[in-house]
Amino acid sequence: MIQALYPTLVFVALTCFVLTTLLARFVSPQTARLALGLGTGVCGLIVGLLVGIMERLPLFGAYEALTYTAFVVGFLELWAGSSHQGLKRQTLLTGIMTSLLLFPLVFRSDVMPRPSFFLYSHPLVACFFFCRLTALGFFAHAGIAYLAGAIPSDNPNIRLTSETRGRNFLLLGTVVFLLSEFAGSLWCYAGWGDSWRWSGNFFRSTMFFLLIMLGLHLPARWKTQPRMTCCIGSFACLFIVVCVLGRQLLE
């Protein structure tokens, strides 16, 4: 069965991402990006197989969340990072991030794709979960950009470019995240959900939104300290990623 290919494909993708990290550190970012492209392509193949077999988008569960987020992070770096001044550190951090995302799938055989549920076929439910995972990929990429700007460098342009890039992708991720929340609100407004009460999910969504606002609305006096803004932005983005994916792994 095709499902038997999942562990092998995950191992190949993880190997490519680890190789990306090593090549970016010891060889050149251009060579490392070839390995990054291969790993991203393998993750795209995994996502494609999941969509074909389950006949739905990646929505829920650690396996879908980790592989799809790794694909989005790799794709965004390949698409938007080719002319970035901090190419080496950006590629290095992307390799580390994508490796960490796939690492649990290699050593936990119990983490597998979840079976489809009848609610997943509803457009609002699909939009809620899929947009949330997509936003997670944007937040992870923004966190990498912010982190690249927080690392000391003799070239101030690298820090400025990284901060701008992190802010832009944080803003894009926020738009996708709010689209997810809007779909969930419509679902509840129609009487099909119960999130209009104070619950753990509602609390987490509120906390994430407040962290996003922290990264996007820093005091003006802090703008003279780019490293501080990069550290705060990186913390906000990566904390959201860790919270969401950590919860998926523990369920």
* Tens-place pLDDT, residues 120-172: 777 888 888 899 999 999 999 999 999 988 887 767 777 888 888 888 999 99
Write the burial class of residue 178 (CB in 10 Å: 0-12 exposed, 13-18 middle, 19+ buried): middle
45 band by pLDDT with thresholds 50, 70 and 90: very high
Using the predicted structure, report yes or no on whether residue 244 has a pLDDT greater than 90.
no
Using the predicted structure, report yes or no on whether residue 3 has a pLDDT greater than 80.
no
* Contacts with 125 (C-beta within 8 Å, 6 or more apart), sequence order: 59, 119, 183, 187
Instruction: Specify whether the CB–CB gap between 193 and 184 falls below 8 A.
Output: yes
In Å, how far are 91, 123, 169, 207 from 187, measured between CA atoms?
39, 10, 27, 21
Sign of CA dihedral 78, 80, 83, 89: negative
Q: Which of 31-35, 127-131, 208-212 has the lowest mean pLDDT?
A: 208-212
Average pLDDT over residues 66-85: 85
74 vs 137: CA distance, rounded Å: 9
23 band by pLDDT with thresholds 50, 70 and 90: very high
What pLDDT is attached to residue 118? 62
158 vs 223: CA distance, rounded Å: 16
How much of the chain exceeds pLDDT 70, in percent? Answer: 82
> 247 or 15: whose pLDDT is higher?
15
What pLDDT is attached to residue 191? 66
Given its phi and psi angles, is residue 61 left (phi above 0), alpha (psi -120 to 50 degrees) or beta?
left
In Å, how far are 7, 58, 122, 223 from 109, measured between CA atoms?
8, 19, 30, 46
The pTM assigned to this predicted structure is 0.89
What pLDDT is attached to residue 246? 85
* Contacts with 86 (C-beta within 8 Å, 6 or more apart), sequence order: 148, 149, 153, 158, 161, 162
What pLDDT is attached to residue 84? 60
Tokens representing residue 89 in the block? 């550190």
Q: Count of alpha carbons within 13 Å of 38, Cβ hemisphere only?
A: 15
Q: What is the DSSP letter of 55?
A: T
Tokens representing residue 20 in the block? 């990306």
In Å, how far are 10, 23, 40, 100, 161 from 49, measured between CA atoms?
12, 29, 14, 22, 36
Length of the chain: 251
Using the predicted structure, report yes or no on whether residue 99 has a pLDDT greater than 70.
yes
Using the predicted structure, report yes or no on whether residue 208 has a pLDDT greater than 90.
no
Instruction: Specify whether the CB–CB gap between 84 and 158 falls below 8 A.
Output: no
Other beta carbons less than 10 A from residue 217's beta carbon? 7
Using the predicted structure, report yes or no on whether residue 97 has a pLDDT greater than 90.
yes
Tokens representing residue 52 in the block? 């074909």
Mean pLDDT across the chain, nearest whole number?
83
Average pLDDT over residues 102-107: 86
* Element spanning 44, H or E: helix 29-54
